[in-house]
Amino acid sequence: MRFVQIIEYNTKDIDAVRKLDDEWMAATEGKRPAGRGLSCADRDNPGRYFAIVEFASYEDAMRNNELPETEEFSEKMMGLADGPPTFYNLDVLYEQDA
């Protein structure tokens, strides 16, 4: 079953977050089980952001979380965030194309 993780966070330095994300992408090239990812800004709440990451399965998401590069990313991300993130872990029941 496909799986989606949404991470909600606040930061004053989205450029540093983007740079950190680019570094993680380069460091995990060829070994990360993460699929498509989106980074989104909340129009109604400046400084509030969401990372949406798709995985083939929950198990792939857990393997991704166990990568040393992901653990390092998470630690650095905490230094850029204004408070702890909120995680939403979602099993995909079905999807529709418009």
Residue ranges of domains in the chain, CATH in brackets: 3-91 (3.30.70.100)
Q: Which two tokens stand for residue 58?
A: 């929950």
Average pLDDT over residues 14-23: 95
pLDDT of residue 12: 96
Q: What's this model's pTM, rounded to 2 decimal places? A: 0.88
Q: Which two tokens stand for residue 41?
A: 């800004």
DSSP string, 67-93: SHHHHHHHHHHHHHBSS--EEEEEE--
Q: Which two tokens stand for residue 39?
A: 């980074």
Average pLDDT over residues 56-74: 93
Has residue 98 got a pLDDT over 90? no
d(CA 71, CA 66): 7
Q: Are 36 and 95 in contact (CB under 8 A)?
A: no
pLDDT of residue 30: 87
d(CA 43, CA 17): 18
